[in-house]
Amino acid sequence: MRPVLAVLLATGAAAGATAAVLQPGHDAGAPPRAPVQRPLPAPDAAPPRRPAALAAELAVTTRRLDAALGDWNPAGQVPRAVTSLALYQQRLLRLMAARRALGDATLARLPADVRGFAADTVRAQRSLAAIPRSPGRAPPVRVVRPAPAAELRGDYAAAQRRFGVPWSVLAAVNFVESAFGRIRSASEAGARGPMQFLPATWRRYGMGGDIEDPRDAIVAAANYLRRSGAPAHLDRALFSYNHSSAYVRAIRRFAHRMAADGQAFLSYYAWHVFVRTAK
């Protein structure tokens, strides 16, 4: 793979925002003290490079993010604290995926409440990285605001009821194909929309909908996967969607995590868009 530079395109995190935490050693029976204002991670905060320190940082960040997600109404915009914490969590996990020895040593040191999410995510990212890139110049990237998380979650559920394809699989495809609809560029092959359909395929499975509309695209993907063998033969259906075993493994990992942990969908939704460009 050519040398690349990760360029952050999504909305910048708030480096100066803070989150309140209790002072360590505070006696629950004593008069309350003023909370300590712990700064949120800066967008360019340097991640630790040793397994024990990286594991500790990821555990703290993931727990803080989970707490922030609990205060978020997913029918609205992503809050400032969620944006900052999700970006830092994403950067830590990207480092673990890219540097295998460091990542594996870090996974072994994570506490149980964080290890499952981290392991599924890192292994899914490694699978995606193993997919050969299309030759030639990548098309310009266009990023838009996605549909609200609660609206997408409802669309996945409705498509599952209609076609029997698990909501978490549809969410994983939406995540991998377009970062939940943030990326609206056509692919090198001409695939378009939140679920990246080729126009010819859309005419067959889109049922008269709009290829750029999130709800229509999710329903069309469920239709396609059902007619390709899902849910009984899900791997075969996913391979038909994208002819890569690594793609199938990545979708399976992300879907498993979102099905096992409802917070995982919101964490992934709050992640940012990175684009590979030549140095």
Does a structural domain hold residue 223? yes
Does a structural domain hold residue 194? yes
User: Are residue 6 and residue 91 in the same domain, yes or no?
Assistant: yes
User: Are residue 238 and residue 265 in the same domain, yes or no?
Assistant: no
Q: State how far the alpha carbon of 278 is from the alpha carbons of 1, 3, 5, 250, 273, in Å.
A: 10, 6, 6, 25, 16
Between 116 and 8, the more confident residue is: 116
User: Are residue 191 and residue 238 in the same domain, yes or no?
Assistant: yes
Tell me, letter by letter, the H, E, C secondary structure of the chain: CCCEEEEECCCCCCCCCEEEECCCCCCCCCCCCCCEEEECCCCCCCCCCCHHHHHHHHHHHHHHHHHHHHCCCCCCCCCHHHHHHHHHHHHHHHHHHHCHHHHHHHHHHCCHHHHHHHHHHHHHHHHHHCCCCCCCCCCCCCECCCCCHHHHHHHHHHHHHHHCCCHHHHHHHHHHHHCCCCECCCCCCCCECCCCECHHHHHHHCCCCCCCCHHHHHHHHHHHHHHCCCCCCHHHHHHHHCCCHHHHHHHHHHHHHHHHCHHHHHHHHCCCCEEEEEC
Does residue 191 contact residue 212 with C-beta atoms inside 8 Å? Answer: no
User: Are residue 173 and residue 272 in the same domain, yes or no?
Assistant: no
For the chain, how many structural domains are there in total?
2
User: Are residue 52 and residue 171 in the same domain, yes or no?
Assistant: no
Structure confidence at residue 136 (pLDDT) = 65
Residue 17's pLDDT band (boundaries 50, 70, 90)? very low
Cα–Cα distance measured from residue 63 to residue 74, given in angstroms and rounded to the nearest whole number: 18
Does a structural domain hold residue 83? yes
User: Are residue 171 and residue 201 in the same domain, yes or no?
Assistant: yes
- Which token pair is 98? 């890219």
Does a structural domain hold residue 143? no
User: Are residue 125 and residue 169 in the same domain, yes or no?
Assistant: no
Tens digits of residue pLDDT in 64-77: 999 999 999 999 99
Tens digits of residue pLDDT in 145-190: 999 999 999 999 999 999 999 999 999 999 999 999 999 988 888 8
Does a structural domain hold residue 26? no
User: Are residue 1 and residue 124 in the same domain, yes or no?
Assistant: yes
| pLDDT at 80 exceeding the cut of 50 | yes
Does a structural domain hold residue 32? no
Does a structural domain hold residue 81? yes
Tens digits of residue pLDDT in 191-245: 999 999 999 999 999 999 999 999 999 999 999 999 999 999 999 999 999 999 9
User: Are residue 90 and residue 159 in the same domain, yes or no?
Assistant: no
Structure confidence at residue 279 (pLDDT) = 54
Q: Residue 61: which domain range? A: 1-13+38-131+256-279
Structure confidence at residue 277 (pLDDT) = 63
User: Phi, psi (5° rounding) for residue 20?
Assistant: -85, 135
Residue 26's pLDDT band (boundaries 50, 70, 90)? very low
Does a structural domain hold residue 228? yes
User: Are residue 122 and residue 1 in the same domain, yes or no?
Assistant: yes
User: Are residue 47 and residue 119 in the same domain, yes or no?
Assistant: yes
Between 272 and 17, the more confident residue is: 272
User: Are residue 48 and residue 116 in the same domain, yes or no?
Assistant: yes
